[in-house]
């Protein structure tokens, strides 16, 4: 049985806070990615397309997205492709006040509650070629483990399970709410050949035999969701490891360029050259041909341009220039811990306010001293070891920043 595994499509994400041009393009990009998925499913002869939750971002569904979605699903069902959609926490099935009803085409199975539903998948001649068992979220805050209720399949045909879940310990799980948490061991021991998962947006394989995979979201939506995004085309066989192929589907890619301590760059031209060089070397290893780029340029630490780069207007201007140079749809320039290029070591051990401040900062960062009440002041993780990690992170490069601030106060 051949399936296309999609997840976390998030139609009609608002992309608030961006210009209407960018917002319009990003919303369209999600629809384009879905259409690309349907193209590939038809091209490659998929028997079923599975959507592992969060098809919609929220309660509101635009007329444009509804028309588009139903049109794409009809392209699949018209060719006999089974579509199974299991709801997630963004698009729960039976919660009151959710979006208006959608007239799903025949051949689309919507599973909107936690009771596992078994759906047959048919081949070209109408014969059953495999089974999909799916469970959905009925509410926006499903805290139960939905995987434990999946029945053990015992037939001779390929068996796929479809679920929106946070698998405990999966990569990047911590950036998602722990809804419908499941243990990997439960999934592995359940008797299925392939688990098509949604919820965690980072694509990853949790197990090869049986296959347990997150497809990741179909189109990146934030600067954190970098790299190629798309779906998984999976050849499922009973009792064997499935063959899994990643298909890039997203037209827009988010990427990041980090410039650490550009102390030798004293002009805007120099900065643009440096960002351009860094961008070209990143793209040499990962060209992303045809992608439209959303780029975040992060400038960090010591730079003679620290005053200019601390100013939002200057950063906006630099971003606009970089859009042309990097051939990107948008470049956002961000500054982190900027300070003048100064030699911290020259000032260390001085018998004055500056020397004492540097000394304190170093000891604080390395956990040699504790400031009473600091844990309460900081909005950080609760336990002491995490606090130390947190302090370490926020104080990284802190000496240079303190030094340059104290010096400019003195001057
Ligand atoms: Mn999601």
Distance 410 CA to ligand 1 centre (A): 50
Tell which residue, 264, 257, 265, 325, has the closest CA to residue 297: 257
| pLDDT recorded at residue 279 | 98
* 233 strand-pairing partners: 4, 245
**In contact, 88 and 164? CB cutoff 8 Å:** yes
**In contact, 398 and 364? CB cutoff 8 Å:** no
| Residues making up the chain, counted from first to last | 411
Distance 53 CA to ligand 1 centre (A): 7
Distance 10 CA to ligand 1 centre (A): 7
| pLDDT recorded at residue 375 | 66
Distance 239 CA to ligand 1 centre (A): 30
| pLDDT recorded at residue 346 | 76
Distance 52 CA to ligand 1 centre (A): 9
Helical ranges in 54-118 per DSSP H: 63-78
According to DSSP, residue 331 is labeled E
Distance 215 CA to ligand 1 centre (A): 11
Peptide bond into 357 cis (omega under 30): no
**Whole-Å CA distances, 190 to 148, 150, 176, 212, 286:** 8, 7, 24, 11, 37
| pLDDT recorded at residue 96 | 54
Distance 249 CA to ligand 1 centre (A): 17
| pLDDT recorded at residue 348 | 79
Distance 357 CA to ligand 1 centre (A): 44
According to DSSP, residue 150 is labeled P
Distance 231 CA to ligand 1 centre (A): 14
| pLDDT recorded at residue 55 | 95
Distance 55 CA to ligand 1 centre (A): 8
Tell which residue, 111, 107, 75, has the closest CA to residue 91: 111
Region of residue 299 (left: phi > 0; alpha: psi -120 to 50; beta: else): beta
Distance 160 CA to ligand 1 centre (A): 20
- Please list, in sequence order, all residues whose beta carbon lies within 8 angstroms of the beta carbon of residue 272, skipping any fewer than 6 positions away: 318, 321, 322, 325
Q: Which pLDDT tens digit goes with each residue over 318-354?
A: 999 999 999 999 999 999 999 888 777 777 777 888 7
Q: Which pLDDT tens digit goes with each residue over 43-70?
A: 999 999 999 999 999 888 899 999 999 9
Distance 45 CA to ligand 1 centre (A): 27
| pLDDT recorded at residue 359 | 84
Distance 204 CA to ligand 1 centre (A): 14
Distance 286 CA to ligand 1 centre (A): 25
Tell which residue, 282, 82, 84, has the closest CA to residue 164: 84
Task: Name the token pair of 14.
Answer: 């608002």
**In contact, 154 and 184? CB cutoff 8 Å:** no
Distance 114 CA to ligand 1 centre (A): 18
Cα separation, 100 vs 269, whole angstroms: 53
Locate the DSSP E strands across 291-358.
292-302, 330-339
3-state secondary structure of 127: coil
In the predicted model, residues of the chain with pLDDT beneath 70 are 94-99, 375-385, 394, 396-397, 408-411
Domain boundaries, the chain: 2-248, 252-339, 344-410
Distance 260 CA to ligand 1 centre (A): 32
How crowded is residue 86: how many other Cβ atoms within 10 Å of its Cβ?
34
Distance 193 CA to ligand 1 centre (A): 24
* 334 strand-pairing partners: 298
Q: Is 362 exposed, middle or buried (0-12, 13-18, 19+ CB in 10 A)?
A: middle
Tell which residue, 113, 9, 6, 111, has the closest CA to residue 61: 9
| pLDDT recorded at residue 365 | 79
**CATH 3.60.21.10 for domain 2-248:** yes
């Amino acid at each position: 049985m051949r399936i296309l595994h999609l997840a976390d499509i998030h139609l009609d994400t608002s992309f608030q806070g961006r210009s209407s041009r960018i917002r319009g393009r990003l919303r369209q990009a999600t629809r384009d990615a879905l259409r690309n998925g349907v193209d590939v499913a038809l091209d490659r002869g998929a028997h079923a397309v599975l959507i592992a939750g969060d098809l919609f971002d929220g309660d509101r569904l635009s007329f444009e997205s509804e028309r588009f979605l139903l049109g794409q699903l009809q392209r699949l069902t018209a060719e006999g492709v089974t579509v199974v959609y299991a709801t997630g926490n963004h698009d729960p099935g039976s919660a009151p006040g959710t979006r208006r009803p959608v007239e799903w085409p025949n051949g689309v199975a919507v599973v909107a509650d936690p009771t596992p539903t078994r759906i047959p998948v048919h081949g070209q001649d109408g014969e059953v070629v495999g089974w999909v068992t799916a469970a959905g979220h009925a509410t926006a805050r499903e805290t139960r483990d939905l995987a434990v209720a999946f029945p053990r399949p015992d037939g001779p045909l390929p068996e796929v399970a479809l679920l929106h879940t946070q698998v405990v310990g999966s990569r990047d799980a911590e950036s998602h709410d722990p809804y419908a948490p499941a243990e990997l061991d439960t999934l592995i021991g359940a008797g299925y050949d392939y688990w098509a998962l949604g919820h965690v947006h980072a694509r990853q394989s949790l197990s090869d035999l049986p296959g347990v995979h997150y497809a990741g979201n179909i189109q990146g939506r934030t600067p954190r969701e970098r790299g190629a995004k798309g779906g998984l085309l999976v050849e499922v066989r009973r009792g064997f490891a499935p063959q899994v192929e990643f298909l890039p589907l997203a037209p827009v890619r988010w990427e990041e360029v980090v410039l650490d301590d550009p102390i030798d760059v004293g002009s805007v031209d120099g900065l643009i050259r440096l960002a351009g060089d860094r961008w070209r070397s990143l793209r040499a290893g990962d060209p992303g041909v045809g992608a439209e780029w959303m780029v975040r340029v992060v400038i960090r630490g010591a730079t003679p341009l620290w005053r200019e780069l601390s100013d939002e207007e200057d950063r906006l201007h630099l971003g606009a220039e970089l859009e042309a140079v990097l051939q990107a749809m948008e470049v956002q320039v961000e500054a982190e811990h900027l300070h003048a290029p100064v030699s911290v070591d020259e000032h260390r051990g001085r018998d004055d306010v500056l020397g004492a401040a540097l000394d304190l900062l170093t000891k604080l960062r390395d956990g040699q001293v504790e400031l009473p009440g600091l844990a309460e002041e900081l909005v950080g993780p609760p336990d002491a070891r995490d606090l130390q990690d947190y302090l370490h992170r926020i104080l990284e490069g802190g000496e240079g920043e303190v030094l340059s601030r104290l010096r400019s106060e003195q001057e």
